[in-house]
Amino acid sequence: MIYWIVGVVVFLVALYLFVDREIYFYEGTHLGPRIQAWLYDRWAKKYDQGKQASQARDADMLARPLLTALQGASQPLVLDLATGTGRLPLALLREPDFDGHILALDISLGMLEQAAVKLADYKTGVTLLRQSGWPLPFADETFDVVCCLEALEVMPEMETPLAELFRLLRPGGILLTSRGTEASGRRAKVVPAPDFVRLLERKGFVQVEIMPWWKLFDRVLARKPGTLLPAGLPRLEQALLCPACRQPTLADAADALRCHRCKRTLLRTPEGIVLL
């Protein structure tokens, strides 16, 4: 009997440690995109509660340095991968000098619904999209800026998202991302700063700059080689490829985007979120 009780206790302790590590510490990284999206859906309404201190500096640490790096390039098209509740779009759209448009993607519909509430006064400046797979449904060299903040560490690996961001960035365009610090405790996911620089350079980025942001993350800016030339803002259906046939054959309608070629329909939620 005693061995049975000990076995049950050991099992429950192991289960608790697994749940604590894989769900709350690594945010479902190793459990697959569906479970990870479900977890973020559950956390969405309270997700920002522990981030007020860092978000209070978003204008100074994210939006304004990004605008400075753009050096006055007009009407930039921005991709924010893993936008969460929309902290970067909100910081950018609050800046009077920002005249571009942001496509903000996330795997969690719940997080995007919170972003829609947060960005309700800036609907013309941002499009929210739910997307969970690779490759991303955009043509090469579509964006002037690509961003991925506080997210590489909760993806299964960093190589694929960084390669995608490089592919989607126009020559001379800017990458804004973050590096999880040693203080985060996520040892399996922490890349030392010199190694992170080399990782970005191996992907093709240049002028990599890492600076302290807040305790758990460093801010990272880099560029794609070349000269950034103004291209003007495309319409959503021009920037977005059909996820099914990978062709630029989408037409905009009131509640959906429809592909002329393969007849795929991308619905919009009442909040305006495009479901890819």
Domain match, 100 and 140 both:
yes
Q: Name beta bridge partners: 209.
A: 221
Q: Is there a domain that residue 188 lies in?
A: yes
Domain match, 109 and 159 both:
yes
Domain match, 185 and 114 both:
yes
Torsion sign across C-alpha atoms 251, 252, 254, 255: positive
For the chain, the residue count is 276
Write down the residue that tokens 């989607």 correspond to. Answer: 168
Q: Please report, for the domain that includes residue 169, its CATH number.
A: 3.40.50.150
- Mean of pLDDT over the chain: 88
Domain match, 114 and 17 both:
no
Closest listed residue to residue 106, CA positions, set 48, 64, 155: 155
Question: What is the pLDDT at residue 27?
Answer: 64
CA dist., res. 59 & res. 232, Å (int): 24
- Residue 28: is its pLDDT beyond 90? no
Q: Is there a domain that residue 230 lies in?
A: no
Instruction: Please give the angle made by the CA atoms of 35, 153 and 240, to the nearest 5 degrees.
Output: 70
Domain match, 37 and 70 both:
no
pLDDT tens per residue across span 115-145: 999 999 999 999 999 998 899 999 999 999 9
- Domain of residue 173, residue span: 53-223
**Mean pLDDT along residues 71-76:** 87
Domain count, the chain: 3
Q: Is there a domain that residue 20 lies in?
A: yes
Domain match, 26 and 150 both:
no
pTM of the complete model: 0.89
Q: At what angle do helices 33-43 and 109-118 cross, to 10 degrees?
A: 40
